[in-house]
Structure 1
Amino acid sequence: MYLLLDEPSFRLQTTLVMEIGLNEAFLLQHLHYRSLISKNERDGYKWVYKTYEDWKEEIPFWSLNKIRRTIYSLESQGYLISNSSYNKMKIDRTKWYRVDYTKPIFHIQKGTVDISD
């Protein structure tokens, strides 16, 4: 085994980090993984819905402010599409997220983002 600890790990790709930033690449990669196992399909896309606090549970070494800033950055750059209209109750402001795979960066390597271990 090539890892220091025998536990699940995160993987980053240099091209993605260089294009959108370290934090953004990390969160986007994690969202990609989550969308692969998501059962929430709307309008032909798989979505992941989470509050900022939910993200904090999954990424415990980040502050809530860093999570908010990173999500905002990804939304601003167009890599992350978010929506809150899929919630059943109007007062529920939980955001639903998906990666915008139409961005050119995702077509560099055979049209996929590698998340293999």
Structure 2
Amino acid sequence: MSDLLISEPPLQAIPSLCVALKNSDKAIMLQQIHYWLQRSNNIVDGHRWVYNTAADWQKQFPWLTTKTVQRYLRDLCDRGLLITGNYNKAKFDRTKWYRINYDALDNLTNSKGTESTNGEVQQVPMEGDCETQPIPIEYTETTHQINNNTSKSDNLDNSVDYEKEFNSLWKLYPPYRKQGKKLALASYKTWRKAGKDNTFARAKMQLDSYLNYIKIHNVDRSFVKAGKTWFANIDDTYDQLPSKTTNSPTKKRVEKATDWSKRKANTLTDVSTDDLKKLLKKYE
């Protein structure tokens, strides 16, 4: 059987949405965002939100480039179908948060010419029944925004590849301090399972914060935490403000050497003959 035929959960979109948006890729992206919104625990101002970088979204749509994904997301925002926000805990984190404007979407799909030719909404043919879900993508924040209080979420949580997540973080850790990988992995698994807010994206953000701290404070290698230590304390925070002191070397005070060429030499030209005789007589 060809690997290019359906053998994995496919991405999906209904034809009427593709027609309304005049672009099947945008329809698939909007459907995928809706999929993750239904599973998100990020609730702000009464709305569910999901957040990802453009690069992480691109992993879910591998036939598109990152720039194309950015352009499509921007277009959906410009059309009022997506609403963006920034609720990141770190001020320097500019990862965009998204939610769907369902009222605007209803107005769009209720417009003339958005129904299928027979007046009924039809799904794009795909393997299996209508319960087929979009393909889950690892290493995205929304992938892990599952409610841990339900048995369904517990089953989904068991499918998360914590080791694969950990390895992607371990690759970013300073190579000269990669000590205790097994202990670090165990700590990471424990941390991930400890609460619904302990997501891969949060761990990545915490690691970026620590690496930035090392850089802006010019931390000596010997003082950088060993890998096993950092992963055992993922929630630690670090000062992100540059040090007030500069790293320029301290200037040492240098005493100016005496310029003997400019000093008047001591001579005996001003000593009288009698005084000289007296002086010499002392040594006879």
Give the TM-score normalised by the residue count of structure 2: 0.36
Question: Who wins on radius of gyration, i.e. which is larger?
Answer: 2
Aligned to 2:10: 9
The equivalent position to 2:52 in structure 1, one of 34, 50, 53, is 50
Q: What residue in structure 1 maps to residue 99 of structure 2?
A: 98
Amino acid paired to 2:36? R
Deviation of 1:11 after TM superposition, in Å, equals 1.2
How far is the alpha carbon of 1:106 from its aligned partner? 5.6
Work out the CA distance in 1 between the residues paired with 2:75 and 2:7: 32
Q: CA deviation at 1:116?
A: 4.4
**Structure 2: runs of 5 or more not aligned:** 112-122, 124-129, 133-284
How far apart in 2 are the matches of 1:6 and 1:15?
25
The residue matched to 2:63 in structure 1 has which SS?
coil
* Percentage of identical aligned residues: 34
Return the structure number with greater relative CO, CA threshold 8 A, min gap 6. Answer: 1
Partner of 1:66: 68
* Per-residue deviation, 1:105: 3.5
Query: Size of the alignment, in residue pairs?
Result: 109
Unaligned runs of 5+ in 1: 109-113
Which of 40, 43, 47 matches 2:42? 40
Measured in 2, the distance between the counterparts of 1:116 and 1:48 equals 22
CA–CA distance in structure 1, aligned partners of residues 17 and 74 of structure 2: 17
Distance 1:23 1:76 in 2: 16
RMSD of aligned alpha carbons: 2.1
Q: CA deviation at 1:89?
A: 1.2
Shift of 1:6: 2.3
More strand per residue: 1
Amino acid at match of 2:108: I
Partner SS state of residue 12, structure 1: coil
TM-score for both structures, normalised by structure 1: 0.83
Tell me the CA shift for residue 29 of structure 1.
0.5
- Asked if 1:82 is matched to 2:84, the reply is yes
Question: In the aligned structure 2, how far is the partner of 1:70 from the partner of 1:61?
Answer: 13
